[in-house]
Structure 1
């Protein structure tokens, strides 16, 4: 199995790339919304990391520009085909690829190749997860983790609410994450003179397996993912590193970490369920979904993706399982009026080799997310990695032969599994037109060559007025 490679490298020399993106979008007249993560990364927040805590309301992201300029020349289908076809029909992308290019302002398709065909999407699946959870829950929604009184004096029940970001490391891996020790402090205060004696952990929110259908055998052991449970800390990581080993039982570890914070021994931790109508002793909340979506897209975080997919299921009164999430996400896409031909997801991360998505669906979501009237979806735009600057694109588009001319002009989600490579995002072309694109290849044999080939396609589109 291949894995995405998020980069958190230096800012020197890269700020120019993001400035180039903003300038290019300004020329195009695109409504750009700056998420807190972007502001912090650029050092525009006075050096203070944005951390939205429980009980606070994050400020609405302000528009940098008012509206998209639809007066820039529209590329022609023949022009785009002339520019892209030779770069798509290369050995590095294998014998089968699909593609979709859409004008964001009008929604008009200006290039396609089997755009409605279902392809293995790998991590471009996260674009669907982002859109559906933002639409179903809203960008300001926060996931709660609660503790209630148990059946006996001194017993407390920690109820998993589906937030995988709960913090136990001195500096949380996830920005803005709620802390287990804060939750323990609330519980001790609520108990007063009653000493906690036992911790019960309730994971009844989720149903079915925590390992997705079609996942490779190393999906939960290779550092890219974990068993999906409604109670976990730091995405199941054992260390504060992107590809840290994960705990085999994230829920048990989280309950033990909570018990330790309470001063309860590990052998006094047990699985169970919260008594009906039990008194609440404490509660913490995640960062707003908009911030979680941004992080998921930037870092291609698989655990966060599958956890957010289950939030879609919960919002739509479906079972919080892989199957329920996939069904609920499809329903939300249909509500949004997006094309679901070729849809066949089995998870929210793209880990599953059974997953199928069409490039037309991806470009439809991206075009919608960039519209000024879809503020609920703007975190998709602000979360997409920027070419040669951030996330999984930080070390791509850095060499002339690999599309460096498009540095800062391409925002895109990468997708990588062994034999599968995809790239979907938004760019501004040479005439200032904003385009959404999705390129997918499912029979590649050399991942590095395939990545370079896809980057060159996107760079050619950005450089082309294509008329």
Structure 2
């Protein structure tokens, strides 16, 4: 498992029995039929070697060697007085370096490693999130039900390749109605509860474009412009209404009806799912007496009857999307999937409680995690460096193959995702990490973090986590200081 993870990226979708081996950046990997079963896509052009340095039986670094490499680089002027670090050898689990390994620290977006691991454990890598349309309680009404898919697209020009599409759902509804045009669209985003912004988020997050309202129905992670597919960009204040309006337009409804889309609750009836014990869904077939409107050949359709459904890409791909570009709204959606799978409210509090519970189920220490959200935007989040390296060990160890999906989206130093522009300067002392560090970054004002895997110069694969939450400088100074530490692990045999 260790050799495979380090020599080439292997994504495992255990539920489908699928293994995908691709060398290219995440943005170019995600082929497959829109909203359906992924299909094989052409191989990407071969890049320069990435993570290809693992050697069978490579010599393991010593604690003294790693300490000699790392200690001089823990710079309080750049990183502050609280820099907590854990480094493990993945093949053996042996601790190679510790500095406050069990200290609860603000993790920023390295929280997403926890979210990714727990949703893969709770839902499985092949799970897909449905978005459904059902007959409403009033004649001519169609209800669009958000299932929590943050990658849902309006049409073929969405932000996420392979995403489920509202225009395709509209075609299903038209067929189910025998060509009759609905008179009203209602959106049901009631799957989520509680506040739409976490109380611990900084005040500028709702308007700064890196976060947005967390709702069960949205398109393109609530982006106002789907073409701005990465980074911070303007988010919609009412993404559920915008999704409903796009859906109504795709149904061919007149402009006044499109503008009249409103929130409501879907009626129960045939095709209405209820939670089952595993967190999936079971479709009710109980008939209802009230007719909602005409169907094919004049037949009446009972309220709650399913008229169509589209499904997200499989869970391991959603985890990839989240990790590669540190997409906060996808992270919050995935935390709520953990909550739903564990019969908790789909809220910030429910997601955090469920994530902590799944960590315990996986044998990870409960005392080393205290989360308030799934994205890491909250300053009240706490994780320890040793928890992060332990979960990387667990995912790489082979005993839980469904967890290997957290590696697929991890940015590669100097090449992809949030690390695409880091580890590139020889003068900065981190260039040795380019291509051999694969890690999740974390950034808030005063907080900088990085955690992932690195291959040493002699071919040994290590797990590492570096968390600094009293940073006195801005990220342009702190990030290179973190990168130098990871680069030192890459450049030395550390023996």
Q: What is residue 249 of structure 1 aligned with on the other side?
A: 238
| Distance (Å, rounded) in 2 between the aligned partners of 1:462 and 1:212 | 37
Pairing of 1:200-215 with structure 2 (within 5 A): 200-215=186-201
Pairing of 1:231-242 with structure 2 (within 5 A): 231-239=217-225, 240-241=227-228, 242=230
Q: Structure 1 residue 392: deviation in Å?
A: 0.5
Q: What is residue 295 of structure 1 aligned with on the other side?
A: 321
Q: What is residue 415 of structure 1 aligned with on the other side?
A: 442
**Any unmatched runs of 5+ in structure 1?**
1-23
Q: Structure 1 residue 94: deviation in Å?
A: 0.8
Give the match's secondary structure for 1:211: coil
Report if the CA contact (8 A) 1:37-1:291 is conserved: no
Q: What is residue 10 of structure 2 aligned with on the other side?
A: 33
Q: What is residue 415 of structure 2 aligned with on the other side?
A: 389
Report if the CA contact (8 A) 1:31-1:371 is conserved: no
- Residue 448 (str. 1) matches residue 476 (str. 2): yes
Report if the CA contact (8 A) 1:413-1:423 is conserved: yes
Q: What is residue 460 of structure 2 aligned with on the other side?
A: 433
| Distance (Å, rounded) in 2 between the aligned partners of 1:121 and 1:51 | 34
| Distance (Å, rounded) in 1 between the aligned partners of 2:409 and 2:82 | 29
Q: Structure 1 residue 312: deviation in Å?
A: 0.2
Change (3 A) 1:379 1:113: same
Report if the CA contact (8 A) 2:6-2:455 is conserved: no
- RMSD over aligned CA atoms reads 2.6
Change (3 A) 1:196 1:246: same
| Distance (Å, rounded) in 2 between the aligned partners of 1:100 and 1:29 | 19
Q: Structure 1 residue 422: deviation in Å?
A: 0.3
Pairing of 1:355-394 with structure 2 (within 5 A): 355-394=381-420
Q: What is residue 258 of structure 2 aligned with on the other side?
A: 266
Q: What is residue 18 of structure 1 aligned with on the other side?
A: none
Q: What is residue 85 of structure 2 aligned with on the other side?
A: 99
Change (3 A) 1:367 1:401: farther
**Any unmatched runs of 5+ in structure 2?**
13-18, 41-49, 270-303
Give the match's secondary structure for 2:138: coil
Give the match's secondary structure for 2:448: strand
| Distance (Å, rounded) in 2 between the aligned partners of 1:295 and 1:55 | 17
- The TM-score with structure 2 as length reference comes to 0.83
Q: What is residue 125 of structure 1 aligned with on the other side?
A: 111
Give the match's secondary structure for 1:457: helix
Between structure 1 and structure 2, the one with the greater Rg is 2
- The TM-score with structure 1 as length reference comes to 0.88
Change (3 A) 1:341 1:160: same
Deviations 1:210-269, CA, capped at 9 Å, x for gaps: 101210112121111110000001111111213321111111111111111112323432
Q: What is residue 212 of structure 2 aligned with on the other side?
A: 226
